[in-house]
Structure 1
Amino acid sequence: MPARTFEKKPKILYIEDNRENRMLVRAVLEASGYTIVEAEDGLAGIEAAIREEPALILLDINLPGVDGYEIVAILKSFPNLASTPVIAVTAYAMQGDRQRTLVAGCDGYIQKPINVDAFPGEVAEFLGGKRERVEGREEGVYLRELNQRLVYRLLNQVEELKRLNQHFVRRASQLADLHRAVQDITSELGVAPMLERLLNALAQAIGTTSLRVDLSDPPGVSVVVAGATSGQPRSVLSGAGVEPAGEWTDVEWRMPLTVRERQLGVMVARHVLPPGAKADEEQLLKIVADQVAIAVENSRLYEGQTRRAGEQASLVEAGRLLTGTLQVSEVLQRLSELVRTRLGADVVRILLRDEAPGEFRLHAQVGSTRAPRKSAHVASDDDEGLVGWIMEHRSALAVSDVLARPGVKHLDWLRSEGFVSFLGLPLFLENHLVGVLAVWYRAPHTFLPDEIALGEALATSATAAIRNARLYEETQERLRHTATLLAVSQDASSTLDLTEVLRRCTRAMVRALGADTGGAWLSSAARDRFLPIVGYRVPKDVLDVLARTEIARADPMVQEWGRLEDAIHADDSQGDPRFAHPIARVLPHKSLLVQPMRWKGETIGGFAVAWLRDTHRFTTDELQLAQGIALQAAVAAENSRLYEGVKQQMAELKQTQAQLIQSTKLAAIGELAANIAHEINNPLTSVLGFASFLKERIEPGQPMREELDL
Structure 2
Amino acid sequence: MEPEMVGQGIVQRARTLCDAAVSALYALDPESGGLALEARAGEGAEVLGRLAAAPAGASVADLATESGRPVATPDLLADPRIRLPPVVRAQVAQSDPRAVLCVPLRVDARTVGVLAVGDVAGRVFRGDQVRLLEAFSDQAAVALEQSRLHREARQRLRQIEMVLAVTQAVGAGPHPTEIFRRTLRELVRSLGADTAGAWLLDPALGRFVPCAGSHVVMEVTEARSRPDLTLDDPLIEEIKSRGAPICTRVGEADPELDRRLARLLAHKAIVVQPVWSNGELIALFAIAWLSDTHRFSADELRLVEAMADRIAGSLGSVDLRRGDEERARQRVAEGAPPPAASAPDGQGVFDTIAMAAATLLAGKLAVVWVADPRDRMLWPEGSYTTDPALEHLRTGLAAIPYGEGAVGETFESRAPRYSAGRCSRARACTRASRSR
Please report the TM-score for the alignment, with normalisation by the length of structure 1.
0.40
Instruction: State the shift of 1:483 in Å.
Output: 0.9
Partners of 2:239 and 2:76 in 1: CA distance: 50
Opposite residue 71 of structure 2, the aligned amino acid is: L
Partners of 2:77 and 2:254 in 1: CA distance: 36
- 1:447 paired with 2:119, answer no
1:332 and 1:616, CA in 2 relative to 1: closer, same or farther beyond 3 A?
closer
Match for 1:657 among 302, 317, 335?
335
- 1:456 paired with 2:134, answer yes
Match for 1:348 among 23, 29, 32?
23
1:401 and 1:494, CA in 2 relative to 1: closer, same or farther beyond 3 A?
closer
Match for 2:182 among 480, 487, 504?
504
Match for 1:389 among 48, 63, 66?
63
Deviations 1:55-100 (A, max 9, x none): xxxxxxxxxxxxxxxxxxxxxxxxxxxxxxxxxxxxxxxxxxxxxx
Instruction: State the shift of 1:334 in Å.
Output: 2.3
The 5 Å alignment of 1:534-545 reads 534-537=212-215, 543-544=223-224
What is the DSSP-based 3-state SS (H/G/I as helix, E as strand, rest coil) of the residue aligned with 1:486?
helix
Partner of 2:401 in structure 1?
A: none
Instruction: State the shift of 1:366 in Å.
Output: 3.4
Partner of 2:201 in structure 1?
A: 523
Instruction: State the shift of 1:570 in Å.
Output: 1.9
Deviations 1:92-115 (A, max 9, x none): xxxxxxxxxxxxxxxxxxxxxxxx
In structure 1, stretches of 5+ residues that fail to align are 1-324, 661-710
The alignment of Structure 1 onto Structure 2 pairs a total of residues equal to 329
Partners of 1:539 and 1:569 in 2: CA distance: 23
Partners of 1:579 and 1:421 in 2: CA distance: 36
Q: Relative contact order (C-alpha < 8 Å, sep 6+): which is higher?
A: 2
Instruction: State the shift of 1:388 in Å.
Output: 4.0
Partners of 2:233 and 2:39 in 1: CA distance: 46
Partners of 1:407 and 1:332 in 2: CA distance: 28
- 1:609 paired with 2:287, answer yes
Partners of 1:416 and 1:520 in 2: CA distance: 45
Deviations 1:553-577 (A, max 9, x none): 3556524423544321221178454
Q: Which moved more, 1:373-382 or 1:332-341?
A: 373-382
1:431 and 1:653, CA in 2 relative to 1: closer, same or farther beyond 3 A?
farther
1:445 and 1:650, CA in 2 relative to 1: closer, same or farther beyond 3 A?
same
CA contact (8 A) 1:336 1:348 kept: yes
Opposite residue 165 of structure 2, the aligned amino acid is: A
CA contact (8 A) 1:378 1:388 kept: no
Partner of 1:631 in structure 2?
A: 309
Partners of 1:420 and 1:564 in 2: CA distance: 43
Instruction: State the shift of 1:584 in Å.
Output: 5.5
What is the DSSP-based 3-state SS (H/G/I as helix, E as strand, rest coil) of the residue aligned with 2:295?
coil
Partners of 1:554 and 1:486 in 2: CA distance: 36
- 1:475 paired with 2:153, answer yes
Instruction: State the shift of 1:412 in Å.
Output: 7.0
Partners of 1:520 and 1:465 in 2: CA distance: 40
Partners of 1:606 and 1:413 in 2: CA distance: 40
Instruction: State the shift of 1:515 in Å.
Output: 3.5
Match for 2:6 among 305, 327, 331?
331
Match for 2:299 among 613, 621, 625?
621
Deviations 1:211-252 (A, max 9, x none): xxxxxxxxxxxxxxxxxxxxxxxxxxxxxxxxxxxxxxxxxx
Instruction: State the shift of 1:520 in Å.
Output: 1.9
Partners of 1:438 and 1:602 in 2: CA distance: 50
Please report the TM-score for the alignment, with normalisation by the length of structure 2.
0.63
- 1:366 paired with 2:41, answer yes
Partner of 2:163 in structure 1?
A: 485
Opposite residue 389 of structure 1, the aligned amino acid is: L
Partners of 1:389 and 1:341 in 2: CA distance: 24
- 1:375 paired with 2:54, answer no
- 1:569 paired with 2:247, answer yes
Partners of 2:98 and 2:207 in 1: CA distance: 63
Partner of 2:231 in structure 1?
A: 553
What is the DSSP-based 3-state SS (H/G/I as helix, E as strand, rest coil) of the residue aligned with 1:597?
strand
The 5 Å alignment of 1:17-56 reads none
Instruction: State the shift of 1:644 in Å.
Output: 0.8
What is the DSSP-based 3-state SS (H/G/I as helix, E as strand, rest coil) of the residue aligned with 1:635?
helix
Instruction: State the shift of 1:480 in Å.
Output: 0.9
What is the DSSP-based 3-state SS (H/G/I as helix, E as strand, rest coil) of the residue aligned with 1:511?
helix
Partner of 1:596 in structure 2?
A: 274
- 1:435 paired with 2:113, answer yes
1:508 and 1:650, CA in 2 relative to 1: closer, same or farther beyond 3 A?
same
Deviations 1:169-209 (A, max 9, x none): xxxxxxxxxxxxxxxxxxxxxxxxxxxxxxxxxxxxxxxxx
CA contact (8 A) 1:528 1:554 kept: no
Rg (Cα) greater in structure: 1
Match for 1:645 among 298, 323, 327?
323
1:520 and 1:378, CA in 2 relative to 1: closer, same or farther beyond 3 A?
closer
Instruction: State the shift of 1:353 in Å.
Output: 3.5
1:473 and 1:576, CA in 2 relative to 1: closer, same or farther beyond 3 A?
farther
CA contact (8 A) 1:542 1:587 kept: no
1:533 and 1:466, CA in 2 relative to 1: closer, same or farther beyond 3 A?
same
CA contact (8 A) 2:185 2:214 kept: yes
Query: Quick check: which one's helix share is greater?
Result: 1
